[in-house]
Amino acid sequence: QITLKESGPTLVKPTETLTLSCTFSGFSLSTHEEAVGWIRQPPGKALEWLAVIYSDDDKGYNPSLESRLTIKRATSKNQVVLTMTNMDPVDTATYYCARRTGSYLLFGHWGQGTLVIVSS
Amino acid sequence: DIVLTQSPDSLAVSLGERATIKCRSSQSVLYSINNKSYLAWYQQKPGQPPKLLIHWASTRESGVPDRFSGSGSGTDFTLSISSLQAEDVAVYFCQQYYSAPTFGGGTKVEIK
C-alpha cells in the first residue's frame, strides 16, 4: 500500500522560510523512474504544481517559483523535503506531496495535505 | 506556461443526468510522435486530496466507474459523467503534463 504524509509548521511569518517534509511508504525513490512532487492549493482555489524530484536525483521546478524552491530527498528515511523561502500571505495554502504515475508528471497517489498559513 | 481554462466554473445536474465539463488549453498538448494528448482529469471531494481519474485525455484509471469518460485532442477536452451519482459531487480539475504541469481552475459539480 502506497502512502504519503506531509508534515511541517501550520503557521509561518512573512519573509520566513518554510520547510515541509513528505514521508512515504510502499515504494522507493531509488527505484528507476520513481518521482515525488509537491503541489499546493490556496483555500477554495486551483492546484499549482511546485516541484518534483526523480529517482536519479534530477529535479524540476515551477518556473514562476523556482528561485524560492528547493527540493531534496533523504532516501534512507523515505522522505522528500521542500523548502520555500521568503514566504508571503499569498502562499497560504494546503501543500500536498504526491507520487507520480508512470513516466510523466501526473500524480496517482497523494498525501492528505498540510495547511500552511502565512501571517504575522 | 500552458494555461488551462475550464468551463463552466460550476454546474448543477439532476441525479442520473449527464454532466459535461470543458477544458481548453492555450496551446496544443498533443505530441505528434505518439499521437497522445498529455491531459489528465482529477476529482477532488471536500476535505480530500485530488484523485486521478483519467490520463491521455481518455484513459480511465483502474477502478474509475465507466460513467466517467474523457474525450478531445490537441487543445479542447471534455470530461463527461454520463449518469450523475450523489458520490460524484466534487470539484474536477484538468491538468496538462506536456510541459511543466499546470492545472485548470476547477469545475464544481453539484446536485440540482
- List CB contacts (< 8 A) between A102 and chain B: 55
Strands (E), B1-112: 4-7, 10-13, 19-25, 30-31, 36-37, 39-44, 51-55, 59-60, 68-73, 76-81, 90-96, 102-103, 107-111
Taking the CA of residue B14 and the nearest CA in chain A, the distance in Å comes to: 24
Q: How confident is the model at residue A16 (pLDDT cuts 50, 70, 90)?
A: very high
Checking if the pLDDT of B50 tops 70, the result is yes
Checking if the pLDDT of A77 tops 90, the result is no
Checking if the pLDDT of A40 tops 70, the result is yes
Q: What is the pLDDT of residues A81-103, one digit of tens each?
A: 999 999 999 999 999 999 999 88
Least CA distance to A101: which residue of chain B? B52
Checking if the pLDDT of A74 tops 90, the result is no
Closest CA to A52 of A104, A112, A5: A104
Predicted pLDDT of residue A75: 62
Average pLDDT over residues B67-91: 97
Checking if the pLDDT of A107 tops 70, the result is yes
Q: Which of B51, B93, B97 sits opposite A105 (nearest CB)?
A: B97
A27 interfaces chain B, CB cutoff of 8 Å: no
Predicted pLDDT of residue A76: 67
**Residue linked to cell 500552458:** B2
Interface of A with B in 60-99 (CB under 8 A): 60, 62-64, 96, 98
| Distance, C-alpha A16 to centroid of its chain | 17
More confident call, B4 vs A29: B4
Q: Which string of b and e fits B48-66 if b means at least 16 CB within 10 Å?
A: ebbbbbbbbbbebbeebee
**With an 8 Å Cβ cutoff, are A108 and B61 in contact?**
yes
Q: What is the pLDDT of residues B8-19, one digit of tens each?
A: 999 999 999 999
**With an 8 Å Cβ cutoff, are A49 and B93 in contact?**
no
Cβ proximity of A114 and A6 under 8 Å: yes
Predicted pLDDT of residue A10: 97
Cα distances (Å, whole numbers) of residue A94 to A28, A49, A117, B87, B101: 25, 12, 9, 23, 18
Cβ proximity of A87 and A12 under 8 Å: yes
Q: How many CB pairs under 8 A join A and B?
A: 53
